[in-house]
Amino acid sequence: MQTSKPAPSSTRFHSGPAPAADAAAAAAYVVNARFLAHRVTGIQRYAREISSRLTGSPRMLTPRHGRGLAGHLWEQTRLPRLAAGRLLWSPCGSGPLGYRRQVVTVHDLFAIEHPEWYSGPYARWHSTMLRRLAREAVHLIAVSAYTKNRIVELLGRDPEEVTVVHNGPSRTTRLTTTAEAARAAAALALPSRRYVLSVSSIEARKNLPTLLAAWREAQRVLPDNVWLVLAGQQADVAIYGRQQRSVTPARVHYTGYVPEEHLAGLYSGASLFVFPSLAEGFGLPLLEAMNCGLRTITSATSSLPEVGGEAAVYVDPLDVGALAEAIVRHLGKENAAAVPFLPALEQAARFSWSDASRQTETVLARALEARPAPAEEKVRRWSVA
């Protein structure tokens, strides 16, 4: 993946008529923009970053009420009528069943592989939907080679019909100034300017019990002013079910949801980033942390080595002792917090949203040439180099 210059700072979405010069391109395909009704987390950021860079101002099909049951009903009933036979790109892993002229981005298959991580209704619906979409769509985009391999192995889709398009680091998460780090610390009421950071929603897959147990061990030998900062919103019960409550050790601070304007400062002010997730389809927080020059510790599982490369330290996500030892060892490295970690910045530079957008447009352009096969026939093969 080649490094690209950052995109312009403004982010615009086009949900109305396109300018005359772009009318033909805009009419060629449309975007399932249900994500615009949701708070920005990893998948929504992916959709926003790429959609904002698409040329030709494609029409963004957006519901008035995109969350919960109302959003699902709109996506399955109203959206196909709005798409009206045009090619539809569904960037968030869900889309209308039976609408065969569609490209779907698949972020992971965890609802199929690990239904215990979700509420029963969510796991059943998304398992059914993912299987159908993977079979019916003209083409699939996977956010990592790991996710592509799972699609091929678990769902039987031809590898030539799945294209890998990685995420990129957001322009809101880049190495920033000491002043911005101080503003983020004040806004989020951080109890200390020396902290180990972990960014994720509070859900089973993110492996919080192991992280807290490792922190309980690590803090015994760390200075009293070093804290663990957990940044992320509580899991939605409708999606993830009721979460097991963990006993929180001393010197742990929960920030809740972090607004976009404070993410770069929060990352850049940290001494170390820890991300012991059980599995990821991509692992955007790891990339964001590296883009802010942080040393990182993460899991030797799923897509995370694909993202971290040689810049991250890998552990077994269920080995409490190994995680605690890694935290202590890397906090003790000379200038660990004061000097940006160059290998992390170099690894992060391998990914960009500009590249991802261009690759997505290539997939969509090829899909415009393809026609969905009848239900009983195999989808026409084509691949993107």
Mean pLDDT computed over 140-168: 97
> Residue 245 in 3-state DSSP?
coil
Distance between CA atoms of 75 and 89, rounded to whole angstroms? 12
Distance between CA atoms of 157 and 22, rounded to whole angstroms? 34
Q: What is the reported pLDDT for 37?
A: 83
Q: What is the reported pLDDT for 236?
A: 57
Q: Do residues 290 and 351 make contact, with C-beta atoms less than 8 angstroms apart?
A: no
> Residue 206 in 3-state DSSP?
helix
Mean pLDDT computed over 363-373: 81
Q: Do residues 90 and 60 make contact, with C-beta atoms less than 8 angstroms apart?
A: no
Long-range pairs of 123-130 with CB within 8 A, sequence gap ≥ 24:
125/72, 126/93, 126/94, 129/94, 129/95, 129/97, 130/93, 130/106, 130/155
Return the ∠ at Cα 96 (arms to 92 and 101), rounded to 5°.
95
Higher-confidence position of 118 and 21: 118
**45: alpha, beta or left, given left = phi > 0 and alpha = psi -120 to 50?**
alpha
C-alpha gyration radius of the chain: 21
Residue pointed to by tokens 């940044």: 231
User: What value does the mean pLDDT of the chain take?
Assistant: 86
Distance between CA atoms of 57 and 21, rounded to whole angstroms? 10
Q: What is the reported pLDDT for 235?
A: 60
Task: Decide: residue 85, CB within 10 A, 0-12 exposed, 13-18 middle, 19+ buried.
Answer: exposed
Higher-confidence position of 287 and 14: 287
Q: Does residue 381 register a pLDDT over 50?
A: no
Structural domains in the chain plus CATH codes: 20-168+352-369 (3.40.50.2000), 178-348 (3.40.50.2000)
Confidence grade of residue 377 (pLDDT, cut at 50, 70, 90): very low
Distance between CA atoms of 103 and 89, rounded to whole angstroms? 5
For residue range 164-182, what is the model confidence (pLDDT) as tens digits? Answer: 999 999 877 777 778 889 9
Q: What is the reported pLDDT for 68?
A: 76
Token reading at 293: 């020059």
Confidence grade of residue 336 (pLDDT, cut at 50, 70, 90): low
Of 286, 342, 337, the closest CA to residue 313 belongs to 286
For residue range 193-230, what is the model confidence (pLDDT) as tens digits? Answer: 999 999 988 888 999 999 999 999 999 999 999 999 99
> Residue 86 in 3-state DSSP?
coil
Distance between CA atoms of 37 and 104, rounded to whole angstroms? 19
For residue range 229-248, what is the model confidence (pLDDT) as tens digits? Answer: 999 887 655 565 565 666 78
CB atoms within 10 A of CB 249: 16
Higher-confidence position of 280 and 36: 280
Q: Does residue 185 register a pLDDT over 80?
A: yes
CB atoms within 10 A of CB 67: 14
Q: Does residue 252 register a pLDDT over 50?
A: yes
Q: What is the reported pLDDT for 359?
A: 97
Helix (H) or strand (E) holding 254: strand 252-256
